[in-house]
Structure 1
């Protein structure tokens, strides 16, 4: 395991590279394929980094999106979940929809990340109904 500056440098390079590749790699993939970016179990090469540091770095890395502008919460949520898991944390990736948009040509959906039951990346939006929680309970993801 790397220490201090080396650990943070490796983390930032990995995060930056992942953020740039993600739009291309998840493109028009199925929901199940997209969730592979949010592993339920993973090695912990970034153990020792705080959750606040990771969340802050993710927010900085995705603040000026070139791609995925209309799915910013998904990009941010997948990256935060992935790197929190790589640091040994146990995050939830939650998905919600706006029931008012169900009959619209385009459904309004949102995702956010919780740690210990509290939102750390984004939050549920007003009117959103949580429909899915991606979490490592007994090694399985489950519906809300």
Structure 2
């Protein structure tokens, strides 16, 4: 289906519903189960939509979270990766940690999405060390 008003309306509804359901579906799940929201291969339901439109739609859908407030980057990253994949793009979902938080009661972590090596959703934060890239290189994710 070519980019047009019907495709964009379906896309916006899909993003909105996914943004509302995701917090419930990833709660108390393992990292591997959570990553299923960021498929490494998928049908290209939204081929033709520009990446900038996808990113801005996802940003709008998650701007006022009522769930996952403390994991906003994860919610935004998973959704952006998912819908960029659905449009035929090859995004990377990257994860980092702050080494200074390793001994703290709660580790400081962050994720962001890159296309062609450039951040399109968030970016690495100062002091963060990248530890994992979820990307479709030969169908396998890899540690950084």
Q: How many corresponding residue pairs? A: 144
| Structure 1: stretches of 5+ with no match in the other structure | none
Once residues 36 and 43 of structure 1 are traced to their aligned partners in structure 2, the CA distance between those partners, rounded to angstroms, is 14
- TM-score of the superposed pair, with normalisation by structure 2: 0.99
Name the SS of the counterpart of 2:120 in structure 1.
Answer: strand
Aligned positions of 1:92-103 closer than 5 A:
92-103=92-103
Is contact 2:3-2:47 (8 Å) kept?
A: no
Name the SS of the counterpart of 1:38 in structure 2.
Answer: coil
Once residues 3 and 52 of structure 2 are traced to their aligned partners in structure 1, the CA distance between those partners, rounded to angstroms, is 18
Runs of 4+, deviation exceeding 6 Å: none
Offset at 1:3? 4.9
Q: 1:8 to 1:34 in 2, by over 3 A?
A: same
CA RMSD of aligned residues (A): 0.7
Counterpart position of 1:118: 118
Question: What per-residue deviation string (whole Å, max 9, x for no partner) do you get for residues 62-83 of structure 1?
Answer: 0000000000000000000000
Aligned positions of 1:15-34 closer than 5 A:
15-34=15-34
Aligned positions of 1:1-144 closer than 5 A:
1=1, 3-144=3-144
Question: What per-residue deviation string (whole Å, max 9, x for no partner) do you get for residues 12-38 of structure 1?
Answer: 000000000000000010000000000
| Structure 2: stretches of 5+ with no match in the other structure | none
Offset at 1:2? 5.9
Offset at 1:91? 0.1
- TM-score of the superposed pair, with normalisation by structure 1: 0.99
Name the SS of the counterpart of 1:45 in structure 2.
Answer: coil
